[in-house]
């Protein structure tokens, strides 16, 4: 089967112009990484701040151009530096950002936030846009009454549910989740992770999940790529990478990370739900 996402030796440089006192320089943010993600699977990308995770996320989401290498989505090469992006390709990949407080326009009602991608990218009529947004609210665990409310009326976890709903409005194939639960309390993190797992099952979604939190990665990933200074120093199945890390950086990273038991939190939430 053709993978939903394939990256071949992807590179991204940033050119920083010089000034009177500083020479111009080039930052090699991503130095040639290759990976594939099959439909319905989750690739987690981990690494410390500055290793190139967000740059990679922006290339995969077709926000940033690729400096060198190839990226294929559903087997089709994408190169936004040389070819205009079609609405069809744009709708295939959507992103959810870390900060649910900054990523939603505070002046727009939830209904407008959800229908906006349809207004911009499709010819779906207004009535159907509303119906689809209402249905999506329910899919992410919110209610129809939330349609007319503003983002400030929601908790962090609810806002992240809205951001996920917005990302799904165009029926994407691939979701790039850039630290989607890092800003949330632990118990809320588990709820949002459960939601993402349910949505993945229901819509056969493919995830690229960027995180610095190894306990979260262990919970959700099928495959794991560890990045270090722009390079993929480790790439394999979750069990391979966690069970038998090869690179010294990965070993140090794992040794330095306290394990938060997400499974235990999830079980506790389920128990509470049963009691309530």
Ligand X SMILES: Nc1ncnc2c1ncn2[C@@H]1O[C@H](COP(=O)(O)OP(=O)(O)OP(=O)(O)O)[C@@H](O)[C@H]1O
Q: Which residues bind ligand X (CB under 6 A)?
A: 14, 16, 27, 29, 47, 49-55
CB 75 to ligand X: min, Å: 26
- CA gap 114, 140 in Å, rounded: 12
Strand 174-178 versus strand 206-211 pairing type? parallel
CB 219 to ligand X: min, Å: 20
Q: Which lies closer to ligand X via its Cβ, residue 48 or residue 112?
A: 48
Beta strands in 186-230 (DSSP E): 206-211, 223-228
Q: Which lies closer to ligand X via its Cβ, residue 53 or residue 146?
A: 53
Residue 11 pairs in a beta bridge with 31, 68
Q: Which lies closer to ligand X via its Cβ, residue 179 or residue 223?
A: 179
CB 12 to ligand X: min, Å: 8
Which residue is at the shortest CB distance from ligand X?
Answer: 54
Beta strands in 75-134 (DSSP E): 76-77, 93-96
Q: Which lies closer to ligand X via its Cβ, residue 52 or residue 180?
A: 52
- The DSSP secondary structure of 45-85, one letter per residue, reads EE--TTSSHHHHHHHHTTSS--SEEEEEETTEE--TTTSPP
- CA gap 251, 253 in Å, rounded: 5
CB 45 to ligand X: min, Å: 9
CB-facing half-sphere around the CA of 13: CA atoms within 13 A: 9
Phi-psi sector, 9: left (phi>0), alpha (psi -120 to 50), beta: left
CB 27 to ligand X: min, Å: 5
Q: Which lies closer to ligand X via its Cβ, residue 122 or residue 182?
A: 182
Q: Which lies closer to ligand X via its Cβ, residue 57 or residue 262?
A: 57
């Amino acid at each position: 089967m053709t993978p939903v996402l394939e990256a071949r030796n992807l590179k991204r440089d940033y050119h920083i112009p010089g000034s009177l006192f500083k020479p111009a320089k080039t930052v090699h943010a991503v130095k040639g990484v290759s990976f594939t993600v099959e439909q319905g699977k989750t690739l987690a990308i981990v690494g410390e701040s500055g290793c190139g995770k967000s740059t990679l996320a922006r290339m995969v989401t077709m926000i940033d151009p690729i400096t060198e290498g190839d990226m294929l989505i559903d087997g089709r090469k994408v190169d936004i530096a040389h070819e205009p992006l079609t609405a069809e390709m744009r709708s295939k990949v959507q992103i959810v950002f870390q900060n649910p407080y900054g990523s939603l326009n505070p002046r727009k009602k939830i209904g407008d936030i959800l229908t906006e991608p349809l207004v911009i990218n499709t010819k779906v009529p207004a009535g159907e846009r509303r119906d689809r947004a209402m249905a999506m609210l329910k899919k992410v665990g919110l209610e129809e009454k939330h349609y007319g409310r503003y983002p400030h009326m929601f908790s962090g976890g609810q806002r992240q549910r809205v951001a996920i709903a917005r990302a799904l409005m165009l029926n994407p194939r691939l979701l790039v989740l850039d630290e989607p639960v890092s800003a949330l309390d632990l118990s809320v993190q588990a709820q949002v992770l459960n939601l993402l797992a349910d949505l993945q099952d229901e819509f056969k979604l493919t995830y690229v999940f960027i995180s610095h939190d190894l306990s979260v990665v262990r919970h959700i990933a099928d495959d794991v790529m560890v990045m270090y200074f722009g390079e993929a120093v480790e790439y394999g199945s979750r069990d391979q990478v966690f069970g038998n890390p090869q690179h010294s950086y990965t070993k140090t990273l794992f040794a330095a990370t306290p394990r938060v038991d997400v499974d235990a939190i999830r079980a506790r939430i389920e128990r509470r739900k049963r009691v309530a």
